[in-house]
Structure 1
Amino acid sequence: MKLLAEMLTMAPANKDHQVALRCAVGVFVPLITLVLLGRLDLAIFASFGAFAGIYGRNEPHGRRLVLQLRAGTLMLAVILLGALTARAGAAFSLSAAGTVWLQVLATTLVAGGCSLVVAWWRLRPAGSLFHIFAFAAIASIPHQPPLWQGMLTAVVTVAFALLVGLSSRVVRGRRQPWSWPLPVRLSSPERRAARLEAVGYLVAAGLAGSLATLAGERLGFGHNYWAMVAAVVPLVGHTTRHRISRGLQRIIGTALGLVLLALILVLEPAPWQTVLVIAACQFGAEMFIARQYMLAQVFVTPLALVSTLLVAPAPAGILLRDRFLETVIGAAVGVAVVLAPAVWRRLRSRPALPPR
């Protein structure tokens, strides 16, 4: 009952509409510009570059700038690695299956490495979920645009997100004094926790990616990185119950979000309308992501899939099926990784049976 109550609880608002508006503008302007230029092949680079605006939600402007600059730099590195990984399969003449397993391995390393960097820089949201998504999505694009064009798009989008983050200093009549973050120093327990968390991300992402790939080969579905993204969702939380709740909310919210996505796809929106949908979903996701995770997933699901369809069109039915199955696999793996230490400790503490 406590778990159910937690899943249905709405936390109080904390200027969420301001954050949501900044994030929506940060993704809308770059994407609509690419639509007008006829360069939708670069849209995915803009979409992930805009993720820099998610960080430093309610921080003072100076601290927000530093945090978003760090987040943007890390995201640009991830985007570059994803684009290079996409080219590695062809460069080494790997088979289709070999390319997929290379992507799983590389995404697993990104999951653990970025988790460590995010903890070291004290970025919020914590974890490497966005980096897993960005890296794997870009690495899996079969037809890559020129590397310099993709990276230029991402850099310009990150710079725009930083400007949007500072925009309220111009819009508001009164300005708060600049305040800068203190030097990042992790205590010894924090460093140990960060390393253990990175291991958790490695295990969850790697196991989910492997299971999803094997299941996909047998059952005929793809997008294994969606399972890897879902697997790390339960790793964020202060208690085991909260982490399990996040995994369940991910599944339920995804199912509801797929219903919303199906309604959107029935309308067959034009590219400029699709960009409006992305901006609206980004607004909805940021409005609720810190207050009610399940409700936020109702917006996150169409946001992620519509962004994918904008760059790489695919049959809607297959996309909906893959998203749900991969989410179930990933969330189940994530919950198992969360429960594994407690189960192991319980087994070790059991008294040995007396000999007969």
Structure 2
Amino acid sequence: MAPANKDHQVAVRCAVGVFVPLLTLVLLGRLDLAIFASFGAFTGIYGRNEPHGRRLILQLRAGTLMLAVILLGALTARAGETFALTPSGSTWLQVLATTLVAGGCSLIVAWWRLRPAGSLFHIFAFAAIASIHNQPPLWQAMLVAVLTVLFALLMGLSSRVVPSRRQPWSWPAPARLTDRERRVAWLEAVGYLVAAGLAGALATMIGEWLGFGHNYWAMVAAVVPLVGHSTRHRLSRGVQRIIGTALGLVLLALILLLEPAPWQTVLVIAACQFGAEMFIARQYVLAQVFVTPLALISTLLVAPTPAGTLLRDRFLETVIGAAVGVAVVLAPAVWRRLSVGGHSMED
């Protein structure tokens, strides 16, 4: 486990950032809007330990991108209804659109130098919203998302109320990507496009054959191995994703056995958000133990699903996605080795 780096401060901000909006929706009796608040709150995970000025800029960028993704997801869901697509046609539309979001958001995140890198959260947000059949009014959904993003921005600056914690405002000068960074950004975007597309297509076909759903969980899992400094690190993340998900599903099963009330569910989500942010930068398996129930309980608030079906789908989709992600990571090295071997035989 890596050493702590003020992770508890980030964890508290993120936990409060999701708890307050969700509790407000519980009190208003509008849990149908909970998913829009949950994804708007993702704004708070960016700019973890940056100075306040830089954190505000990064979170403004992250929040703007997340709002665009949420809007596109809601419009995609409506497109399937507008054009009266069959369930299968609607599913393939979502896979195609999510694949484009995976590549496009990866490129934007790199261009804006956002951390966490990659488009994992954007894939999850877009696909989860696009898969909701009974969409709430668009203006209400976007209002909740915008207000949650604004609240996350306030939480990012909340420590300024303590005089000893105030930092001088410093606005970072725009840093252009170098030629090498641009090439890497484009290559990574292609990697996200390929991994998400392959995982989505494979999960959809297997799901139609074996009768399970939630193909976007495979797309999310597929891009996890793409984040890393080396091939070994990336492969390790793929394996850790599967192990952490399995352990997280055990925790989720225990939570579901308690049959929590809506307000208790919101408390569980906040606690899982706290745990995820405490460990996401230090120990990926442990973080996934919290991320798994966090993601699934947020989904359950909007679209109730039998517990057994939910647990099965999550594990199978994660295995499919992680396997695809690992294959995409290994493909360039295998190709180079085969090419070198072919040249050697010719020589």
1:298 aligns with 2:289: yes
The amino acid across from 1:304 in the alignment is A
Aligned pairs for 1:220-231 (under 5 A) are 220-231=211-222
Q: Report the CA distance between 1:184 and its aligned residue.
A: 3.0
Do the aligned partners of residues 105 and 174 (structure 1) sit closer, same or farther apart at CA in structure 2, a change above 3 Å counting? closer
Contact 2:217–2:317 (Cα < 8 Å) also in 1: yes
Map Cα deviations across residues 230-268 of structure 1 (whole Å, 9 max, x no partner): 000000000000000000000000000000000000000
Residue aligned with 1:173, SS:
helix
Letter in 2 for 1:346: R
Flag structure 1 segments of 5+ consecutive residues without an equivalent: 1-9
Aligned equivalents of 1:174, 1:108: Cα separation in 2: 42
Partner of 2:58: 67
Distance 2:58 2:110 in 1: 12
1:176 Cα deviation (Å)? 1.5
- Alpha-carbon distance between aligned partners in 1 of 2:296 and 2:195, rounded to the nearest angstrom: 22
Aligned AA (2:170): S
- The structural deviation recorded for 1:171 is 2.8
Q: What is residue 329 of structure 1 aligned with on the other side?
A: 320
Correspondent of 1:154 among 142, 145, 149: 145
- The answer on whether the counterparts of 1:86 and 1:138 sit within 8 Å (CA) in structure 2 is yes
Cα RMSD (Å): 1.0
**Structure 2 equivalent of residue 6 of structure 1:** none
Matched, 1:52 2:43: yes
Query: What CA distance in whole angstroms lies between the structure 2 residues aligned with 1:333 and 1:250?
Result: 13
Alignment of structure 1 residues 273-288 onto 2, 5 Å: 273-288=264-279
CA contact (8 A) 2:159 2:165 kept: no
Equivalent pair of 1:28/1:279 in contact (CA under 8 Å): yes
| Mapping for residues 1-356 of structure 1, pairs under 5 Å | 10-350=1-341, 351-353=343-345
Structure 2 counterpart of 1:155, which letter? V
Contact 1:111 1:201 in 2 (8 A): yes
Looking at structure 2, the residues matched to 161 and 341 of structure 1 have their Cα atoms a distance apart, in angstroms, of 39
CA–CA separation in structure 1 for the residues paired with 2:204 and 2:158: 43
Deviations 1:146-169 (A, max 9, x none): 000000000000000000000001
Aligned-pair CA distance for 1:172: 4.4
SS of the residue 1:124 aligns to: coil
DSSP 3-state at the match of 2:10: helix
Judged with a 3 Å threshold, the aligned counterparts in structure 2 of structure 1 residues 122 and 146 are, in CA distance, closer, same or farther, namely same
Question: Aligned partners of 1:236 and 1:220: how far apart in 2?
Answer: 31
Q: Distance in 2 between matches of 1:263 and 1:296?
A: 18
Q: Is the 8 A contact 1:230 1:334 kept in 2?
A: yes
Identity of aligned residues (%): 86
Q: How many residues align?
A: 346
CA distance in 2, matches of 1:79, 1:174: 33
Classify the secondary structure of the residue corresponding to 2:64.
Answer: helix
Give the distance between the partners of 1:75 and 1:167, measured in 2 at CA.
21
CA distance in 2, matches of 1:125, 1:18: 17
